[in-house]
Chain A
Amino acid sequence: MNELLNAIFVIILTLNLFALGNGRLLSVIRIVAFQGILLGILPLLIHSHLTFSVILSSLAAITLKGLVIPGIMKKALRDVQIKREVEPLVGLLPSTIIGAVLTAVVFLVYRRINPVDQSHLSLIIPTSISVIFVGFILLTTRVKAISQVLGYLLLENGIYIFSLLLIEAIPLVVEMGMLLDLFVSIFIVSIITNHINRAFSSLDTRMLSALKE
């Protein structure tokens, strides 16, 4: 069970790197959706006994993160008609390498500050922090609004992994509230991008800072 968990964590980390290195927005959406489905499987594996709340949270994560949100994003992508990210602030390959180096640093530092071997939870915290970092990279180095939303989604995925540690303590309502929050924000941002596109004929967020009356 523990080995299976760790295997899923490294697949999540691998998907991070592919999300950073991929220039086609549709593929990045697919990658993030796949990561969401993997995240949904995690609560089922982490707990020895399946309670109603665990199953519900897993199902909600799979439907929202794996199906609904990517669906909304794909629709937004179709509406604004962009296919690939042109000239991100940091190139695709450098950002992949930065992401990989950050992941390695997180793993090494975590080992240094926490030498106690917590047998079965050993990969949760470094994985979640790495996913958060990669989300940050996507969020800060891309210029298209939709890529930034994808970065935000990755960030949220990292937080979700972290919250798995506390799943016994966090009540179901809080968990559902977080998911609802995410869903609503993505929904709104997708609508907003559509409007930005209609008003300014570009989704380049750098232009938004030069807005005038």
Chain B
Amino acid sequence: MINLIIHLALFLIFPPFLLGVINKTKALFAGRKGAPFFQTYYDIFKLLRKGMVISSTTTWIFGAAPLITLSAVLTAGTLMPLGSSPALFSFTGDFLLFAYLFGLARFFTTTAALDTGSAFEGMGASREVTFAALTEPALFFAFLVLVKLSGSLTLTGMLSSNFDSLIYPGSTAPLVMVSIGLFIVFLTENSRIPVDDPNTHLELTMIHEVMILDHSGPLLGIIEYASSLKLFLLGSILLNIIIPAYTHSLWLNWFIFTMAMIGLSVIVGILESSIARLKMPRVPSLLIAAVLLCGSAFILLLR
């Protein structure tokens, strides 16, 4: 029971904090003091209290899209095991549902962007879909590797069986490759720096930000919250692979998981401060590298 409460609380309340950690890390690297850790929460609450301006050219899709995105991501969250705790719902093949719920969320975000009729937003939607077409194979190859290693078709079975190298001989090499590939997918899906910069509004390279330009007030708040949840969920796939073992103590497990999550955010912050954003035509090569990595990991297992 207490495990369930922590699970839900961590999943629902914790994610915006990670964005705060990333921004604080970036600020420290730039020599600034930076916004407080809880800034994202303040932003979301501020946005929820405001009124909305909705363009008269839009249809119902524009208003519904953020809600559908949020509910799709929340549903995906119920399928994801966090740390040592199993997922709330688990059934055979739920990783397909997980991947396609993200697909649904993306579909409605891009449709809402197209719905505004702005050429600028259409450009962002086009980029988002192009890159998603490349990250999805990488994600599926990674899932295939995990299915093959763990012999389980559920996310809980795939991710919470700690891949002990004694139980699964030869598992370290493919898992290292999958982790590198998934990290690239993680950065791309959350519009982090080598692909997209979430903090600027530059026409040349904007992807996610450009699609939500016309959203305001509560709708924008919902989008911000949903994207932080997405960061949290994709990060926890990665962490479940990387963290080798958990203890028997409940509190210690949650502590390890939370600290690892914060550590991942710090790494993202360091990466964002130390490398530059890629040129737009070069992004697909990075994503193809991710697909190749996860694919080779699968070959390594099958050979």
Contacts and interface: CB of A to CB of B under 8 A. Distances in A.
- Do A and B truly interact? yes
Interface of A: 3-4, 6-7, 9-11, 13-14, 17-18, 21, 92-93, 96-97, 100, 103-104, 107-108, 111, 122-123
A186 B299 CA distance: 36
Contacts of A96: 285, 288-289, 292
A9 to B, nearest CB: 7
B145 to A, nearest CB: 12
Contacts, number: 56
8 contacts: A10-B177, A10-B297, A10-B300, A17-B293, A96-B288, A96-B289, A103-B296, A108-B299
Contacts of A3: 165, 170-173
Give the interface size bracket for B toward A: 20 to 34
B288 A93 contact: yes
B177 A97 contact: no
Interface string B156-193: 00000000010000111110110010000000000000
Interface of B is mostly: helix
A45 to B, nearest CB: 13
A3 B171 CA distance: 8
Nearest to A21: B285
Given A3-B173, A14-B177, A96-B288, 12 more contacts: A6-B172, A7-B172, A10-B176, A10-B177, A14-B180, A21-B285, A21-B289, A96-B289, A96-B292, A104-B295, A107-B296, A123-B173
Closest 10 CB pairs of A and B: A3-B172, A6-B173, A3-B165, A100-B292, A111-B303, A10-B173, A93-B285, A7-B172, A7-B176, A10-B176
A6 B180 CA distance: 15
Contact of B296 (A18, A93, A104, A122): A104
B172 A4 contact: yes
Interface in B249-303: 284-286, 288-289, 292-293, 295-297, 299-300, 303
Chain B CB within 10 Å — which of A3, A4, A21 has the most?
A: A3
A108 B299 CA distance: 8
B292 A107 contact: no
A7 B299 contact: no
A18 B171 contact: no
A107 B300 contact: yes
Nearest to A110: B303
Interface in B69-121: none
A6 B288 CA distance: 23
Contacts of A6: 170, 172-173
